[in-house]
A and B are shown apart, each in its own frame.
Chain A
């Protein structure tokens, strides 16, 4: 019986040290969320100025706006699907939820007659696809919880190249959809699918107001603003030409940062639960260990008493 006491003590010890590790990971995730959210906040003035300038330039072009990033490409029945997932697990169902959303969307696209090209960031998602033998166009690893602007640049360049490729090229894409986890707040994050390309320029309801950018799938319209007459260098078209790729890049960076914040929030929650579970287990094992000790003592006493009884009876 002394053996079971030893087993319980050993379990308590290892569970305690696991609990410490979980707690540390929870704290690390918590501090990194702050960093990802700060990066998103720092990027906001840039994104806002960019969005406004794009709206301005588009509003000053008379007649129909023709730009490769705005035009639909009905001849290309191929959609680039950018999936932003995590590099590491230990974040609950974060990657599983995201991949489920991505694959449901891919199935819809396939049913509508589109071929789907997957571009994936995050080791977990890459492993998922590789295991299932799904071909990936391109993958990026190693920066899912602290994305850099350089990474956004690279992803944007790859996808813009696919979108502007000649339609007979084998990697040409007619649309770009992004699947990422939208960071609503610390407790609520949900997978979201956004059609990023081609950009939709939406006429504001009041003709005096200027065309604003919107993204179709989300159904969000950015508030229209009345702009004064501007002059442009070199020309409204030239400005738009330079701004749209930057706009895409900034949008992708924003998606990456939101995905990172969501991943870390999920990891923090998962690690918090794990810490709680570890504490519960320690409590349970402590009780069992006490019981085992009590049982040992009771047995020893009954052995002594029965020994004494036997001696008394024999004399």
Chain B
């Protein structure tokens, strides 16, 4: 935690020291390049980012392109570099592992705006962006908490990194808010996209007695497992109802269009700046839940929609004390709200989550 604090302080200082190095001239035509880690047709993470790209591509002054399935490491460095060489004005890199190559290249191309998703490093012409997905996770957790009969909810998760841990915790807090007996069982797959493995992970959770399956994965594997066993499922990334119509209750979804639109408008007007961290939430429409399935009763829907209104209005910050960890120790005292810095480095589970963060 101490190191994290030092990092936050260093980051804050570098923001202060950076004096508008970015050449902010007004532009009539903006070329925007996107680099994705997986194919856009996967209905998952890259698909959601690409929906945002398609939305800004419709703006009259925007021209966009993308390269998909770009591995982190050498390949990403080359692809980002090629966008910069070809005179693109904004380059969106959508995977954590693109961070260091983007930092390197941003220094060589001071007139290009670099936007990196999910990382923590910035430069005078590189900012990062992400969404408060945990808000949508909380709401889907409420749905799961009310729909479970055996009070065991399974969660197929990718990697034990803060983003995923934060989502699981918010999900558990949402479930507990409506059903204090609910527990969330976590299985790590250590993959982002592996349909067969992720389906197997969901089956193991179903075997352990879970009757609702949630996921932080890019494949529909867990959805299929829940549908085959006649249980419920909760999707992620985009509306997954078509993939498992008989089990799917709702999905926690990304909607990047508002954020991307804001960035291209700022670059057009010459007011965009690097060294910023955008972490937008439900109030700005970047995260949401997809329409409920007809299996979700009216009173459940009403309760969740009421909670959504509270989150949007800023009345429910979700990580508000008292919050206990798995050992029952109070980590966030009553009345206190966790700060963003701590949320970004979250590495422990809340009470009621079964599993470990290794």
- Do chains A and B interact in one complex? no
Using CB atoms and an 8 Å cutoff, list the residues of chain B in contact with chain A.
none
Which chain A residues have a beta carbon within 8 Å of chain B's beta carbons? none
